[in-house]
Amino acid sequence: MIAVARARQAPPARLGAIAMTPGTIDVQAVRRHFTFPEHGRIATNNAASTQPPRELLALYRSLAPGYENVHRGQSTASQRMTALFEASYDTIAQFIGAPGRASIALYRNTTEAINAVMYSLLTEFRDGDNVVTTMMEHNSNYVPWYALCREILPRLGRRVEYRLARFDPDTGELDLDHLASLIDSRTKLVCCTGASNFLGTRNPLAAIRALADASGYPQPGGERRSYLLVDGAQLVPGSFVDVQALGVDYLAFSFHKIMAPFGVGVLYAREHLLRSTLPFLYGGDMIAEGRVFPWQVEYNALPWKYTAGTPNILGAIISAQALRILLDLALTPGRPAYFGTDLPIGRAAVHAAMDRVSRWNQQLTGRALDGLGAVGGITIYGPRDPARRTSLVAFNLPGRDPVSVAQALNRAGVESRAGCHCATLAHHALGLTPPASCRLSFYLYNTPDEVDHAVAAVAAIAAGRNLPPVPRYRFKRPGARHARWRVPGALSA
């Protein structure tokens, strides 16, 4: 049997108690699961991509003996791989509180998932409709709607408008009054980020849901409300998310921001929407077996209606296991309970784990905000309350190009990102020329010392002083007799 498909087992006796009690992240125990500390890296570009634990990398190798396609074979290997692949949908659904796998569609990333919604709804838009989104969106939750309204539907003779809600330039908070003024009885869809990847702002999704519900737009199924699509790329990795409690119609996020390798994104949608709307991609596994005729084609049952062609089988399996190891790292980092099993994921365990991740991220972010706030002349974007934001801080230094700041931080061993962060509208709204900022972003494996070193480096750059020395990290490989020293950028022997 493949390693990840161990028989269902009960969690350790104390796991239930641990999962239900408050706690914090045991960051040193967490870091032992990753390779980047061994290389001395200060990985603080996590809003772009997180680091994978070594167990997930090893999982690829463990799947090799049973490597086969899914839904396309009668061999034992194919049947086992199919079971693992299908179980990955169940894990994803359980993690976000979806009713079941029929509400899940897998794509390459958040961007493709949002595009899938756009193309699925394309033929439903009526002349005079509108889409409402915001000025704080990632380009991936604005450009598809721009293209729909300006480039695609006009060629079909339909006039559909997109509308952009403002945010407060001082606080980074969404202007709910302006948003409400844009939503009317012709608003088919409201699109917003759950958390901005530039401002860090957590948007009030319950209030936005209420505004969408009150629009009165007549949907094809008889509902009289606007659909709500949430870009959860920055929200899901560090927060407890329950799609049913939030009442969202669509939620998109990517696994490369949740410790998994690149190449898998998720679209959650209400099951009746996936059942009634057209697919984004056609052919292959999305077709019902044997149901292709010259006069008719029938599509597969959910969720396979949205798996055109051969899917990213290993990516789906690894990504689902990333959610399981995230629970283990947050709850019992020295004693895995969920990783490598098909043990059902309870809502209490997910809530407890993500609460710990969220509180740890808030501690790191608050520390960064306090430290950076003391740097002379610095401009910090977004809310100053770490509880109102995700674990990233974007800033600019007077007279310094953000790219040069990021390059200097790299010389101090700090990994950051400079640019518009694909949040171009928000940078333009703030009048930034060029439309760019420098950003530090944290995750559950970062330490307070790393935050302090990053802040000290920013302070040195702002003051024109020498950069702080690159820290040396003492580490011990699992099973090794002696600890070794490593500096950032050095390769292990």
Q: Active-site positions?
A: 422
Per the DSSP assignment, residues forming a β-bridge with 287 are 299
Cα torsion for 264, 270, 275, 280, to the nearest 10°?
A: -40
Please choose, from the candidates 164, 160, 205, the residue with its C-alpha nearest in 3D space to the C-alpha of residue 182: 164
Please choose, from the candidates 330, 260, 256, the residue with its C-alpha nearest in 3D space to the C-alpha of residue 47: 256
Please choose, from the candidates 349, 439, 333, 389, the residue with its C-alpha nearest in 3D space to the C-alpha of residue 34: 333
Q: How far apart are CA 217 and CA 215, in angstroms?
A: 6
The label of the residue with tokens 């600890």 reads 483
CA distances from 37 to 46, 182, 331, 440, 441 (A): 14, 48, 21, 17, 16
Contact criterion met (CB below 8 Å) for 95 and 345: yes
Q: How far apart are CA 78 and CA 70, in angstroms?
A: 6
Per-residue tokens: 453: 């070193």
Give residues with Cβ within 8 angstroms of 392, minimum separation 6.
Answer: 46, 47, 197, 200, 234, 365, 439, 440, 441, 442
Taking the CA atoms of 179, 182, 187 and 188 in sequence, report the sign of the dihedral they define: negative
Taking the CA atoms of 351, 416, 261 and 192 in sequence, report the sign of the dihedral they define: positive
